[in-house]
Structure 1
């Protein structure tokens, strides 16, 4: 009886008729694409010009700086977006967007602006700096007045590069279990998930992970005495600063202090001299020196940084 009823329903219900009544799911539209760039039809000319080459340059830059092999990034035209809008998706999640003004340039004021120029107020998408949309006829005048003028493709390129630097280190899918487990030098000591955490922490602190063999060997040696990932991460951070390029750009100071564990909680004890005006003045002088030379300086306490920082981060 039930079998005949099912046959009757199947004869009167045509599945092909209703197959495309529902919208396609995201996996059907963009299968296996971890990073996606979508744009409105108004930006088609800009994207088709040289955006693919610019994105390849971004991938190479990310690999050189962080050691992350960014997969190929497809470009999709999305008719649901505003004509001049674009957005980025990371594993299907909308992470950032922006809207451009075609046939215009972005004028970003600097400290050396001599005179304000007319334009359409807006914000720079990466660092949210107040900027102006100006026409091509105003470009030369804006540069003379001390503005930094950027064209539309460069805006998208810079925005995309900063998005990747921001979201890739904190995305657990960036490094898969296969990559984290090769080579298996730490088998029996660290789980693969522990290796994933170590590598992701490296990227959060902007430490390159291109030399995976060196990282795995360091983990193997460190975990013979301790399985504390925080201790390993901060030892590795300090060692990464002690390179030829950064040896003359880092200053150190040695305060007296300690970290004590009481009932499972970390309590930081430091001598009063750490908070004196003298120390603050010293830090300010070093900071001003690095700003004048346009270099990025790290001020750390090597003997205690791994103890202070791991507990303060928590």
Structure 2
């Protein structure tokens, strides 16, 4: 268990974000059910204006307050790492009589508790509310309510890992957002470009793909449709959460803070990432050029534009120090 002094310091430093997160997590699920109940009551009192029978259905495939709970995992991680660096408080944290490992664990444990415990309380309150209101049906209630705890932890762990690798808030968010679609960037985008170059169909793109593969994309969990499949697939984001925690812990412990304000804290990452960004720019803009003009000339023009844009974005993002840290 982390030192109580460290936990208290993290609480005081991020009190506003933590309190808002707790309230949202506790109230979000019950309020979603109450909102569905009010819609049902509106149907009952104004039945002549509705099409079909009035049914009180708690359906978590429709838009609910808890469908955006993952955003609060992002907010907490940015507050604990990115904003702390931007405010110049990180050096003070590292000067405290604790190891870097203890500091990261304290941050992660506090953030994790603020995600898991309030959501579970909100889930219990929602169960009691369902017993009171007695809906005709509750679709995916348990799977989605409990699954969102894992999804929120995935978002939190991912952005914490991004913050441990990078030197400012923008870099933290950009790296985290890129990782959410990384399987597409590494697999699908090259395959699409290969189709264009070969002038034919690359069979494995259009062949049968196992259902579980989509769950390797963190972006899959942004929309609630994942709840339609087996709840056992949630093992995948749970494992990814552990992996991102390990990456974040090792990065926080091993990387120095002296590159504060730069994109990556570990300088050797600069050049390889810049090359990857340029390559992705070439393939991405090449594909859009081909799709827009349906010609190989448009593909070549798109590749050229992508190379220039990829270079400029990577150069100014990675090599230019954030002026707030000068």
TM-score relative to the length of structure 2: 0.26
TM-score relative to the length of structure 1: 0.27
Q: Greater share of strand residues, 1 or 2?
A: 1
Determine which structure has more spread, i.e. the larger CA radius of gyration: 1
